[in-house]
Amino acid sequence: MKRVLHFASVALLGMLVWQAVVTFAELPRFILPGPMLVFSTLWTSRMLIAEHAVVTITEVLIGLGLGATLGFASAILLVASPLARTLLRPMLVFSQAIPVFALAPMLTLWLGYGLWSKVAMALLIIYFPVTSAFFDALMRTPVAWVELARVMNATPARILWCVRVPAAMPGFASGLRLAAVYAPIGAIIGEWVGASRGLGYLMLLANGRAKIDLMFAALIVLAVLTLVLHALVDAVCRRIWGG
């Protein structure tokens, strides 16, 4: 309850500052609409925004699921195989040196303007944080635990799955929390490059038609969805792994 009240207080303060800027600077609505106009548009265009929001949510959830699964498997492979660490880790780092915007047009060209190019963007943007967080946690397994397992004649595979992986799950949870924030960014970038549906597409369409109030309304919905997704992932992680 305290967190909800704190968030509501911050949101109210932000809207008051927003309205004050619009009022005292006398900004026209096509530059910066006031919060009342934006929320009025959000209500009147709720069906349109909801239709596009469903598309974006679908892209984000699929990308999040695939990215988390691939990141989990990649971290396991990096820990289990020195050869994989030698070959794959430089590739992972190099993949982060390429701007995401540079990849989006190519993915759209290869996968089309539909769902999967946006899913691929979301997957790419969250793959590294999940893999890196889980891999680091796996490598930081207490040495005493590993040595005790070896004394009990555990095989390397059993040490990995029965000792290292359970000990590293809080690290995997940290990666998932980051992924929940980054996944919508990837989907929106994909929609900006080429799409016919989604909140990113709606924002570009509204901006091109000077409907800045609609653009802000879609942006607010996107922000709320991201916060809700992060809260849900955080709650699940705390429920399962306690951290």
d(CA 218, CA 240): 33
The residues, ordered by sequence, that sit 6+ positions from 118 with a Cβ below 8 Å of its Cβ are 59, 63, 186, 187, 190, 191, 195, 198
pLDDT computed for residue 1 by the predictor: 64
Comparing CA positions, the residue from 71, 101, 238, 90 lying closest to residue 170 is 238
Instruction: Please check whether residue 168 is in contact with residue 133, taking contact to mean a CB–CB distance below 8 angstroms.
Output: no
Strand, helix or coil at 73? helix
pLDDT by position in tens, the chain (length 243): 667 677 778 888 888 888 888 888 888 888 889 889 999 999 999 999 999 999 999 999 999 999 999 999 999 999 988 888 888 888 877 777 777 778 888 888 888 888 899 999 999 899 989 999 999 999 998 888 888 888 888 888 899 999 999 999 999 999 999 999 999 999 999 999 888 899 999 999 999 888 999 999 999 999 999 999 999 999 999 888 765
Write down the pLDDT at residue 219: 94
Structure tokens at 215: 């653009």
CA 172/CA 127 separation, integer angstroms: 12
CATH node for 38-241: 1.10.3720.10
Domain ranges of the chain: 38-241
CA atoms within 13 A on the CB side of 240: 16
Distance CA 137, CA 159 (A): 15
Residue 240 carries which DSSP code? Answer: H
Predicted local distance difference test score (pLDDT) of residue 9: 82
Question: Taking the complete model, does pTM exceed 0.85, yes or no?
Answer: yes
pLDDT attached to residue 196 = 85
Is-contact 121 107, C-beta < 8 A?
yes
pLDDT at 62 (0 to 100): 96
pLDDT at residue number 170 = 92
38's CB contacts (< 8 A; 6+ apart) are 213, 216, 217, 220
The answer to whether residues 60 and 183 touch, using CB atoms and an 8 Å cutoff, is yes
Nearest Cα to Cα of residue 52 among 201, 208, 209: 201
Tokens of 200: 């990113």
- Tokens for 141, please give them: 């397994």
